[in-house]
Amino acid sequence: MSLKDQITEDMKAAMRAKDSARLSTIRMLLAAIKQREVDERIVLDDAAVVAIVDRTIKQRKDSIAAFQGAGRSDLVDKETAEVAVLQAYLPARLSADEIGAQVAAIVAELGAAGPGDMGKVMAAVKARLAGKADMGAVSSAVKAALSK
């Protein structure tokens, strides 16, 4: 079963359970998936769906930071609950040590040295670790590896 089918089944289960918070989050995710499919006239594979989930989680985390700054704990709680629902659709994330090891291997493969090669290394790392790691942590690991 594809990830998109799993999300649809989870939506149906949330409807049956009358779990309105979970249902609205899943519907929002399916709407984002459908919008991309319609815009680009393609059928998304699991990797593309994971990218959409990842982007949506990042948007929610940015909103949480803004709401915390404004003192809106009610909205922080809502966004945090949405992040929890969305994270169920992501594959297991790599630890910081695993990210560091992967980045070091890629830097060695490319023979990169210095901050000038950041773009080249990030392109290779993004292709290999997309959906498996938080790109903010990956970026930090790449900067650390290139500054040695």
120 and 48 in a common domain: no
Residues 70, 102 share a domain: no
Number of domains in the chain: 2
Give the mean pLDDT of 41-57: 92
Tens digits of residue pLDDT in 117-128: 888 888 888 888
- Quick check: 67 and 75 in contact, CB under 8 A? yes
- Contact between 134 and 94 under an 8 Å Cβ cutoff? The reply is no
Q: What's phi and psi for 68, nearest 5 deg?
A: -65, -40
Cβ–Cβ < 8 Å for 86, 60: yes
Alpha carbon 145 to chain centroid distance? Answer: 23
- The answer on 112 and 63 residing in a single domain is no
CB 74 within 8 A of CB 14: no
pTM (predicted TM-score): 0.79
